[in-house]
Chain A
């Protein structure tokens, strides 16, 4: 049964390994994946601990449905205290790692301490050992994975690794599996590097018994039909996630030149259709591939068509790389995007943070806040493709003053640079924004301001609000599984109704992260895709666990609350520009200058924004300061945390 998968506690300092079952009552409260990781983080990490110290605890997990008959249960989740933000660190990636870990007998790993020298953890059919990784340290993401397969003599081994960026303690280093599956936000690769943990390798052949196999398969058939018939997934299967950047750039919802423009004009060369042409030219017509158990196949394969890296193979680019190395830096050329994407994949570094910090530095350079002295002579003006590529390398290897400074993340860098550099840093809670610009979309602005791991599109973004759905459709979505008869709005420049829409999405995203399913299989980009009601059946048929849609909703609310408790414990306060639920002043002061006619001139109304935050807090059961009320904590069963049940 999926519920018999275990949890392992691994101490890298002492070498002690303990394997335990996951109690059913804990499952019912937190399900698995990100939700249970949040509980473990709150219980196993000391208040105020240095994220790079042995005391920080690293969680690696699959969801409760991982490797079952459910669709797209490919996601691996990683959590620790973030070295980038000092708050919650959390990252989620596709690929094949978590299913292999489940077949090896485990759903959750809790890793503490620090090894004396580089090591990796090998997990195979219920057994765990810590092995020497000194020969692998220093290798790139893909080279590391091949070396681990060779070391273990098994080509089917799946490895989760940190790259050179993690080893060099770049505070936004990724953990990665495969060539491009990246747990790419909040610096989880940096935590691995700080522990001398190069990799976790898994190989398993332990069957997972499905509770009701026939019903599970039949329901999955319905689920898949719903997924593949959606227009959004047909588009993703043809063009990959770059279509998201393309659509957003079309109306003026992306950042260009850091935050000066909200549209990258004449960007035809990095539009998804052009990227797709390059993929086809270099890899042939069947260049789309997918993660474990997924039918969407949103991942493109390509070879860099020209330049110093011509002929090098990689996967993607995701929409985030288009934004990071094309739009934000105003270098809308495919070869730059594809090369930049390759380098961050090779180094194991967050493309979003990297591109954002480079574009921020470019604006500072053009304003004279930093000069060629700080750039070691590099011409860091917007539009300089070579400078973008050069800076990626400098950040990973901490080369030069600026590379080393940016590698520590935006807020420490702004403190080192001084002057008014912080005013230009587009971040929330110390994490750079996605390449998107939310000045015309208050609901999305609320989402990034209140995201638990910092500015974030994958924690509560009401993206379907951009589709102008009829109110009856919105009511069906946002009125389930708990009743809601307050205001809703499909007008994306509107403020009314958005707090509930963001709150609902926050719980939907948490739900899917607890199950271990990809967000493209839920109400993230597709209004007609499965959520709580469907999950209730999928959980029952696959695991035998009976949970109503309302109970799954409650789990999600509880898990989001424990993430909030962690952040509050580590210093979150409501309006703190560095650690709070607040946006950079430019959202309120500078109007959009490009995009569709009715986007031009838009900025966020601060008074209305504050009211939205108030209302969002009310839905969550928080007081005006963003602190949970005792009543809500009791209702969620969190009034005695940390409870140390595990």
Chain B
């Protein structure tokens, strides 16, 4: 079959760039890769200090469920104060 001799398409070739067991910090100018401890329900970004609640889609696929709300609010209000936004 001709198809078997074909190489990978660009999309297929990018598959090797996928990472598992990690997610990126949601802070846009940080985007640090965070690797939560397996099964753990929270994770903190070592670079910017954002704290997240973690959901495990499967044992190898963690995702950020959302921020730890109280920490998120505190950081946002401090930033607004620093910027002088009322």
Contact = CB atoms under 8 A, between A and B. Distances in A.
**Size category, B interface:** 35 or more
B48 A235 contact: no
A597 B58 contact: no
A273 interface: yes
Output the residue of A231, A234, A271 with the most chain B CB within 10 A: A231
A268 B72 CA distance: 14
B10 A600 contact: no
B11 A273 contact: no
Contacts of A243: 63
Nearest to A239: B57
Contacts of A271: 65-66
A391 interface: no
Contact of B1 (A215, A246, A249, A534): A215
Given A234-B57, A480-B10, A527-B14, A250 B27 contact: no
A267 B66 contact: yes
Nearest to B85: A591
Contact of B12 (A222, A492, A597, A600): A222
B10 A477 contact: yes
A4 interface: no
Nearest to B75: A597
B49 to A, nearest CB: 8
A596 B50 contact: yes
Contacts of B12: 222, 226, 528, 534
A158 interface: no
Contacts, number: 137
A562 to B, nearest CB: 27
A380 B73 CA distance: 26
A517 to B, nearest CB: 13
A531 interface: yes
Contact of B58 (A238, A249, A263, A600): A238
A122 interface: no
Interface in A512-549: 523, 527-531, 533-534, 537, 541
A492 B28 CA distance: 7
A307 B53 CA distance: 29
A463 interface: no
A214 interface: yes
Contacts of A268: 66
Contacts of B30: 596-598
Q: Which 10 A-B pairs have the closest CB atoms?
A: A251-B26, A596-B27, A468-B31, A600-B79, A598-B29, A528-B14, A533-B9, A601-B83, A250-B66, A600-B76
Interface of A: 214-215, 218-219, 222, 226, 229-231, 234-235, 238-239, 243, 246-247, 249-251, 263, 265-268, 271, 273, 440, 467-468, 470, 473, 476-477, 480, 491-493, 523, 527-531, 533-534, 537, 541, 591, 593-601
Given A598-B27, A598-B48, 8 more contacts: A229-B15, A230-B18, A238-B57, A250-B52, A273-B65, A591-B85, A596-B28, A597-B49
